[in-house]
């Protein structure tokens, strides 16, 4: 009965050309049945291919890929055997996942990591002492609000004022009316995309970029125009050319300790990009969630503060307390023109009438303690970064990376492709990592990269590096068979 329900849910069919465009071709250039099954599996786990989609008919896909029908039959058989597809006579074959397996887009959010060391989440634990004090302060304030209805679609006035005051202190004069409090930075970005973008609009994004932001753009059916962030950072000329040639409706940037590369955009480049975006009437959506995580340099001023007069009118900034304080708090914000904030609030109430008053009161108290929290956080992350780089140098000497001046991640160059397969294989060695392809705009890119955060306690990195080295060497796994099979071509 359960299978029958899945069949009925599979009311969408991928054409052969659609599926072919989503697959990473093999190095040889032509698919064998094992290579094709592997490519479909990876596209499914990466989120490029959705669950419960009917796969193309064998004859159609064979024609598109210029292979024999026997190749398609063999690939579909492998997918069914491993749980990545189901079939029913007369109904076709549709995508599935083995029991207990999650797509890699959700793979980092397991409630119970068991014995695995989790190197997928770039998020530190809460500052225990300061959080306890903030909770006590919030509890004392809560009775003042309990007599009201408790709905604040724009955010608690005290928190809007605190966020605005912080922007002002950092060099960007801001009024509370220019702040919308959200349930984390991800909701902030989603609201901005919903308000300013329409299906089919172009959005410029860095490549690589924050994977959840890219997923949000794809979910809104925006067409992404990639601009590279390389070993040396941004190329203003390429950004300017992309803006002029495609005139995107939006551009999403992470200029402060870029996720995942860790680069910090120079001030002159910020001014140039703001000027170019104004010329094409492109909204600049600037993700500043990592701004406070300045490890080796002073924390940069807000992006909009560096823009020339008039160039900041179409800059929308997104921020959060998730990195500086704690992701479990779920408090973020948008900083924009007052009229934009009003429109964003109208969009917000269609899905979320208001954030938690208690969480926002805690956030107010934490913001009052940022001068204490941030120096501790920065020093802690420096030590963890040193522990990670030392462990990697000992156990993976063939890998290369640039130590970032801030942020929470290393962008590791493996020196060879295959990071997605390595990430799957590493699970059986008891370590969870994200392959570089998860951060690419285009499928299959950055396969020679891993993103490894340094947000775990220092003593975690020696065993993590040992396990990762064993996985890289192809040694037998120590933690049992994972849900993702280690296929051999």
Per-residue pLDDT of 250-266, as tens digits, reads 999 999 999 999 999 99
- Helical axes 211-219 vs 184-196, angle rounded to 10°: 30
**Nearest Cα to 114, choosing from 479, 469, 464?**
479
Report residue 3's pLDDT band, with 50, 70 and 90 as the boundaries.
very low
Do 116 and 135 have their domain in common? no
Q: Work out the average pLDDT over 328-340.
A: 97
Place of tokens 């703001």: 274
Do 264 and 158 have their domain in common? yes
pLDDT averaged over every residue in the chain: 89
Q: Work out the average pLDDT over 213-242.
A: 94
Phi, psi of 456 (to 5 degrees): -90, 165
What pairing do the DSSP bridges indicate for beta strands 179-182 and 202-207?
unpaired
Q: Where in the sequence is the domain holding 462, given as residue range(s)?
A: 106-122+372-473
Residue 483 inside a domain? The answer is no
Number of compact structural domains in the chain? 3
Residue 478 has pLDDT above 60, yes or no: no
Residue with the bigger pLDDT between 402 and 427: it is 402
- What does DSSP assign to residue 240? H
Q: Work out the average pLDDT over 228-236.
A: 94
Do 74 and 115 have their domain in common? no
Half-sphere exposure of 100 (CA within 13 A, CB side): 8
Do 392 and 270 have their domain in common? no
Q: Give the C-alpha separation, 191 to 281, whole Å.
A: 19
Residue 484 inside a domain? The answer is no
Do 313 and 461 have their domain in common? no
pLDDT tens, residue by residue, 39-73: 888 777 766 777 788 899 999 999 999 999 999 99
pLDDT tens, residue by residue, 282-332: 999 999 999 999 999 999 999 999 998 888 889 999 999 999 999 999 999
**How many CB atoms are located within 10 Å of the residue 123 CB?**
15
**Nearest Cα to 447, choosing from 8, 80, 42, 19?**
42
Residues 6+ apart with CB under 8 A from 249: 196, 197, 198, 201, 202, 203, 222, 282, 283
Do 160 and 291 have their domain in common? yes
Domain of 191, CATH number, reads: 3.40.640.10
Domain of 418, CATH number, reads: 3.90.1150.10
Residue with the bigger pLDDT between 197 and 488: it is 197
Residue 143 has pLDDT above 80, yes or no: yes
Do 139 and 264 have their domain in common? yes
Do 294 and 416 have their domain in common? no
Residue 124 has pLDDT above 50, yes or no: yes
Supply the pLDDT for residue 376: 98
Residue 112 has pLDDT above 80, yes or no: no
C-beta of residue 69 within 8 angstroms of C-beta of residue 82 = no
Q: Give the C-alpha separation, 400 to 413, whole Å.
A: 5
Residue 463 has pLDDT above 60, yes or no: yes
Q: How far is CA 163 from CA 27, 167, 177, 227, 321, in A?
A: 50, 6, 11, 31, 10
């Amino acid at each position: 009965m359960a299978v029958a329900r899945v069949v009925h849910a599979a009311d969408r069919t991928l054409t052969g050309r659609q599926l072919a465009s989503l697959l990473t071709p093999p190095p040889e250039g032509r698919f064998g049945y094992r290579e094709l099954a592997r490519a479909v599996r990876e596209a499914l786990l990466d989120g490029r291919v959705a669950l419960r989609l009917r796969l193309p008919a064998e004859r159609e896909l064979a024609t598109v890929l210029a292979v024999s029908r026997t190749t398609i039959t063999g690939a579909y058989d492998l997918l069914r055997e491993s749980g990545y597809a189901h079939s029913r006579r007369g109904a076709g074959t549709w995508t599935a996942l083995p029991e207990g397996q999650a797509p890699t887009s959700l793979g980092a959010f397991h409630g119970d990591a068991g014995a695995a060391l989790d190197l997928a989440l770039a998020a530190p634990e809460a500052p225990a002492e300061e959080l306890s004090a903030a909770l006590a302060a919030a509890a004392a304030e809560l009775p003042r609000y309990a007599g009201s209805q408790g709905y604040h679609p724009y955010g608690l006035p005290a928190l809007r004022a605190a966020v605005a005051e912080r922007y002002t202190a950092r060099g960007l004069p801001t009024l509370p009316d220019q702040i919308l409090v959200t349930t984390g930075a991800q909701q902030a970005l989603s609201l901005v995309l919903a308000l300013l973008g329409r299906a089919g609009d172009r959005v410029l994004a860095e490549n690589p970029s924050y994977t959840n932001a890219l997923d949000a753009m794809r979910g809104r059916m925006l067409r992404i125009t990639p601009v590279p962030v390389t070993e040396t950072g941004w190329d203003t000329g390429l950004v300017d050319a992309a803006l002029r040639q495609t005139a995107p409706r939006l551009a999403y940037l992470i200029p402060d300790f870029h996720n995942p590369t860790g680069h910090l955009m120079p001030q002159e480049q910020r001014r140039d990009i703001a000027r170019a975006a104004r010329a094409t009437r492109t909204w600049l959506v600037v993700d500043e969630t990592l701004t406070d995580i300045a490890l080796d340099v002073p924390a940069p001023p807000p992006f909009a503060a560096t823009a020339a007069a008039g160039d900041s009118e179409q800059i929308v900034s997104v921020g959060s307390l998730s990195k500086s304080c704690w992701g479990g708090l779920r408090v973020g914000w948008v900083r924009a023109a007052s009229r934009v904030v009003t429109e964003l609030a109208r969009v917000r109430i269609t899905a979320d009438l208001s954030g938690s008053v208690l969480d926002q009161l805690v956030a107010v108290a934490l913001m009052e303690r940022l001068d204490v929290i941030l120096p501790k956080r920065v020093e802690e992350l420096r030590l963890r970064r040193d522990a990670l780089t030392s462990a990697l140098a000992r156990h993976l000497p063939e890998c290369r990376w640039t130590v970032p001046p801030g942020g929470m991640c290393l962008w590791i160059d493996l020196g060879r492709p295959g990071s997605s397969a390595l990430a799957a294989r590493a699970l059986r060695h008891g370590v969870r990592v994200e392959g570089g392809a998860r951060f690419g705009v285009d499928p299959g890119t950055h396969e020679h990269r891993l993103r490894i955060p340094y947000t775990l306690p220092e003593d975690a990195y020696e065993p993590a590096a040992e396990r990762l080295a064993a996985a890289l060497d192809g040694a037998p796994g120590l933690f049992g068979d994972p849900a993702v099979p280690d296929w051999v071509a």
